Amino acid sequence: MAYTIPDISLNDGNTIPQLGFGVYQIAPKVTAEAVGRALEIGYRHIDTAEMYGNEAEVGQAIRTSDLDRSDVFVTSKLNNGFHRPDDARRAFDSTLEALKTDYIDLFLIHWPLPTRYDGDFVSTWKTLEEFQRDGRARSVGVSNFQVPHLERLAAEAEVTPAVNQVEVHPYFGNEEVRAYGRAHGIATEAWAPIAQGKVLDDPTLLDIAEQLGRSVAQVVLRWHVQRGDIVFPKSVTPERVEENFRIFDFELDDATMERITALDRGEAGRQGPNPDTFDVIPA
């Protein structure tokens, strides 16, 4: 059965497929094969980053597919060591070169790093605005930005981020950030959508999955899309990649949605670093 992946409208007039394929922690030597398989299944949105070290392999998979470049939505992110404007410009050029493309659909600041570079992520953001103005980035956004970071951009910059990619899953709803995004037209993308696998043996989710005849991962991914967020699960297991794609032929009712949302543990449920203190720059 063929599935139509819904598009999410962004605040700059562009659209983004709501379901994508992530390549975080996928080794470069297997990335091209994994992305190629995802494209064959029907994924049309690939999420990578300079930090992942596999942009070139993503580009290779797209070029060797039967798809035109315009048929695939590609996201990448600025590495943490390149926030200063001139460094960001060089890093962006490197991303385009690695992908072998003259534009990228969405480019993000990967982390705000509020304790680095004198806390000046605004000048970094204004540099991304340049990339959008010259057409080499169709959309620009941020990743792991908290509400105070977003408020500072609103006060000091001209362009509102199209997207904020943040940790979201049933154990960590990140509701304050999501609510700010809704109020200001910033789409939320959920990374770690199944809490890095931590939710797969949750009794509530296992019960729901059994009732529906679905996997826990499918149930959780369906919860994300019904909340209106963009999601991009990752796997190198062919069966899992296809399973994650098959989430548009069933729905969760309101009561089930509420059961899943109620699993939120607040800050205790966070699996990744806290963006307010995270300041790691790769060697």
Q: Residue 56: enclosing H or E segment and its boundaries?
A: helix 55-64
Closest among 168, 186, 174, 272 to 225, alpha carbons compared: 168
Place of tokens 């999420």: 47
Closest among 139, 129, 49, 68 to 103, alpha carbons compared: 139
| Three-class SS state of 231 | strand
Given a contact cutoff of 8 angstroms between Cβ atoms, the answer to whether 218 and 244 are in contact is yes
CA distance 5 to 246: 10
CA distance 21 to 221: 12
CA distance 249 to 25: 29
Q: Which of 3, 24, 43, 52 is catalytic?
A: 52
Given a contact cutoff of 8 angstroms between Cβ atoms, the answer to whether 21 and 234 are in contact is yes
CA distance 9 to 15: 4
CA distance 31 to 231: 19
Long-range contacts of 272-279 (CB under 8 A, 24+ apart): 272/167, 272/191, 272/192, 275/111, 275/112, 275/114, 275/144, 275/145, 275/146, 275/149, 275/166, 276/114, 276/146, 277/115, 278/111, 278/113, 278/144, 279/113, 279/114, 279/115, 279/116
Closest among 77, 96, 105 to 16, alpha carbons compared: 105
Known catalytic membership, residue 52: yes
- Which positions are annotated as active-site residues? 52
